[in-house]
A and B are shown apart, each in its own frame.
Chain A
Amino acid sequence: MNIAVPTREQREAKLEGMGCKRKRVEDIRFTQGKGNYVDDVKLPGMLFGDFVRSQYAHARVKKIDDSKALKVPGVLAVITAETLKTVNLAWMPTLAGDVQMVLADGKVLFQNQEIAFVVAVDRYAAADGVEAVEVEYEDLPVLVDAFKALAPDAPLLREDIKDKMTGAHGPRRHHNHIFEWSMGDKDLTDAAFAKAEVTTKDVISYHRTHPSPLETCQCVASFDKIKGELTVWGTFQAPHVIRTVASLLSKIPEHKIHVIAPDIGGGFGNKVGAYPGYICAIVASIVTGKPVKWVEDRIENLTATSFARDYHMTTEIAATKDGKVTALRVHVLADHGAFDACADPSKWPAGFFNICTGSYDFPVAHLVVDGIYTNKAPGGVAYRCSFRVTEAAYCIERAMDIMAQKLGMDAAEFRLKNFVRREQFPYHSALGWEYDSGDYHTAMNKAMEAVGYKQLRAEQAEKRAAFKRGETREIMGIGISFFTEIVGAGPSRNCDILGVAMFDSCEIRVHPTGAAIARMGTKSQGQGHETTYAQIIATEIGIPADDIMVEEGNTDTAPYGLGTYGSRSTPVAGAAIAMAARKIKAKAQMIAAYMLEVHEADLEWDIDGFRVKGLPEKSKTMKELAWAAYNSPPPGLEPGLEAVSYYDPPNMTYPFGAYFCVMDIDVDTGVYKIRRFYALDDCGTRINPMIIEGQVHGGLTEAFAIAMGQEIRYDEIGNVVNGSFMDFFIPTAVETPKWETDYTVTPSPHHPIGAKGVGESPNVGGVPCFSNAVNDAFAFLGTRHIQMPHDYWRIWEVAKGLGLHG
């Protein structure tokens, strides 16, 4: 019988390695309802905790009366700040170097702040207990408007630090001031503005919004008094960081804390931080000796854990009359809410906002960010974003459009004229970054071609003329955005979280039969790591992806890592995978040389094994080498085939993209229609195009939501007026536009496989693109900058303000 020898193509295909549209392994359980999310964790004797929350945005808490609550059937305990003080946990450190009340200590500083934690036998009894706790308040003046925070007579919010005029990021100049952070050269920038031919100056605000993954934040804490061990299941994007923080706070030795992040129902930055619910559940478990579950409801999620953005960016561009930018000056008023709980690398109080020079060659720039306190929820998380890069991209992409409008230049032409050119990479930006690689002109030209840019502008000109003649009530906007991201935090020389360097890790064990397991320091929340990481390994060491299991989220088995956010998984952990795989390959090569009786240098890699150069029939597959590694290793070589890599990236990666949006707006109703949205992304090497496209679709949908209505809004006394899915805009399949995707490939030169990360690009680039489309639609009627979000009502208001309603 003839056994067909597989062709090279067949061997290659069998691996399902990088570049292949591999179907996801996660889907097998998710499509059958067999995912394992935190609320699915059920332990014997498990109790349930629920919060009493503040009705006021700013008030003194005069009295908390729990006597009625303790009589409610099923209620076992009511934990307050007084309880937590006995274990020194009434306050907790934030990731940003501030402190935050776990439970209200004398006063409340935002609506729905946690006041007491009711522990009961089930969630219904806990809710009954919450209803029965009586809180006596004395209300205080409320500060909502960020622009009034630093007024001399502004209410004092943080009494705990009123005499501490130096914070984690330097001096504070007012009781509501957190930090001032500046970058760039002020004198050179001022000089460039002084002699500039054309300048623009606009306050460009990026409103407060919320990541709102479909699964809220939740945990189960279980303390074993006999062993002195704590196990916590939780919605953690960074499980190891949670373990370290839990150890530092609780004084439980770190090896006795087991943190497990099971399947996570979306994160988008919401699940990076540590929240009062986690601390309270842990304390409650220690106090009661039983497992305690805490599950946030949606209103709590939207109003208390981790808003995003809330940046007011005064943006100035200087340019020559013929359209060459000469300087950028930005001042940001950053509203951090009641506590500075931003989830940024510790040395970066405004994250990587200094990427705000964008894709353009600004000779000089200067940036100042002032962080301030208000009576709003703490947070400032990177909502599908690498630490304020979304705000930076919005700021520069709006400002570039405004300058183009002032110069009377086409917005695309203005961008092409100012792009960093291909030969300038690695490019050193005026605000301190080294962009790794890029080819902006190629991407922009491809995108313009694909959307038929010239024809669109011609059509727009005709429509504008028709509108002015009164023949139509519809106006047409063409939105452009060309963004450069900075992702993959990050190099230990400048990136850490509370002192923990932001490397990431991978451990690969190849079993004797040639199957393998890879364990990671990151944690997927839908990104499909179990699928894509296996593809990297498959290509690197020639084991079929189907024979590789990827495991994340168990701090006992995974190597230490900093988790998944800021598009860092592929740039950092993806590199760790390649490096670990290459260690394995190097050992396999030694074994192959021994088995084939040749020198190592006489071997070459061939898809799934090594062969002797010039003698392709003399070869050993990785599967054979794995068996030999355990059972007949060369003399002097220890058995086994496994490797660990901790990867400290030499630089960030800089994905980029060109997005175009075509929008039609009815000026009488404010109703807009997204006629077309085209997104070209360059994320370097593409590991799984299917997953990339999926991430782009999802990120664009979130960008659409944010730009067109998704806002956390407060009234003048600090009430959240849209704190549920009733009012907070989450697009359904009906509103969501259809997406066209495209790509170019400019690999990262410093990354082992050239990949840059993609998950956040569509959010970063999408928001300015939608907003620019709305602004572009109205520009011919004399508008200059229309603030987001652009819901129907606000668009209608713009039209009304322009006198279009007669």
Chain B
Amino acid sequence: MNPRIVAPLAGAAVAALLVLGSTLWVRGHVASAEQRLLTPEAEKPQVAVAADAEVKYCTPRFKQVLERVLHSCGLATEARRGCKPADVKTFASISDDDFNELFHPLKDRGGVVMFDVGKEDLDKGAKELLSERFTDRKGARYFFVVARASKTGTPQKNRALSHRRANSIMYSLKELANDPEIEKKVGLLWLGNEFAQLSKEYCAWPNSRPTEKCDEDAINRTAFVSWIDCRL
């Protein structure tokens, strides 16, 4: 065989076979990719979606009460703002002790803002505690304020006083937050002295006057504030 004839033929044949084989192989890969493109994945891997925090204390019972607060105290609707003692009694459908028990897991998350007798003004310690707790939002969506008044005085007077205390906190929060939607985040409850009074043991909770004497009267001249890490 004359290599002057065989050699070019062999070279051309090998090149042609290689290029055609490679091209068809690539073409096949492209075609199967197109087929997969047109056929949606049967089991597409699920990707987590950004959402509010949900921590252990968000028990169904806890969430049930908070849901009622949300709906009854105006967070979920535009109709009204805040809840007064009579409302809380009705919608919470829960005893005083059980109501307070629900907030136990929030002992370190929240704080107790203390007030002077018959006053609703926030002192420096109160503002600092409120700022500190409000800034430490983490993944929470709702901030709860539960204002109280001690048993000294009439229920009507204390109802009004705890309402003013709750509003005082709200006013301070508005200044802190610079958020036009702050009202949608804050749930206000004012309990007066009629519902869920706190016992002296709550004096051990973080409060705005840690060095002052705390008794059952003092711990009820307060507003408990906390972010709630639950998806409601």
Answer yes or no: do A and B interact: no
Chain A residues near B (Cβ < 8 Å)? none
